[in-house]
Amino acid sequence: MTILAASSHTELTPSKSVSLRVEDILGVAFFDVNGLPREYFVTDVSPTTGWVQIVFQALGLRSLLAASLKLEGFHQITVHTDEQTALVVRRRNDYVAILVEGCIQPEDVAILDRLTQWIGRLDLLALEKHPHFRRA
């Protein structure tokens, strides 16, 4: 998947310098501060929620490692499967994850930073109203 300039003008579109089309997002999940799944959204293209379990496990591993090694400063993780990528972003009071087709590996750190910031601003209410998503 390529990260390009904005090509879709919706409230879910990130800044012009980096974007994913809304149609590129296969799922969105919100987790509480403990890493427990809270809300998830699926699409007609990918109605399954199995990826949420993988993200949950990754967040649990992150918590275990952070506690054991006294690590601080976690902001995002990327989970790659054979066909999809889940990008998880730590926010002040929760985590948010998006699922996309293919592999997100921007070579430019600034692009990844902007994408991470955009994901961090995703709004639960906007997703509930958006026709591309439905609550799982």
* CATH label of the domain that carries residue 51: 3.30.450.30
What is the SS3 assignment for 59?
helix
* CA dist., res. 88 & res. 103, Å (int): 14
Q: Is the pLDDT of residue 111 over 90?
A: no
What digits encode the pLDDT tens for the residues 52-103?
Answer: 999 999 999 888 887 788 777 667 788 888 889 999 999 999 999 999 988 8
* Closest by CA position to 35, among listed 66, 51, 58: 58
The Cα 5–Cα 134 span in angstroms is: 26
Domain containing residue 57? 22-135
Give the residue carrying structure tokens 């799944």.
37
46 falls within a domain: yes
Q: Does residue 8 belong to any structural domain of this protein?
A: no
Query: Which pLDDT does position 73 carry in this prediction?
Result: 65
What the block records as the tokens of 49 is: 């929620």
pTM to 2 decimal places:
0.81
Is the residue at 39 inside a domain?
yes
Spatial CB neighbours of 131, under 8 Å, sequence gap ≥ 6: none
**Residue 59: inside a domain:** yes
Domain count, the chain: 1
**Phi, psi (degrees; rounded to nearest 5) at 90:** -85, 125
Give per-residue pLDDT as tens, 9-28. 344 544 444 456 778 899 99
Is residue 101 within 8 Å of 3, Cβ to Cβ?
no
Mean pLDDT of 109-133: 87
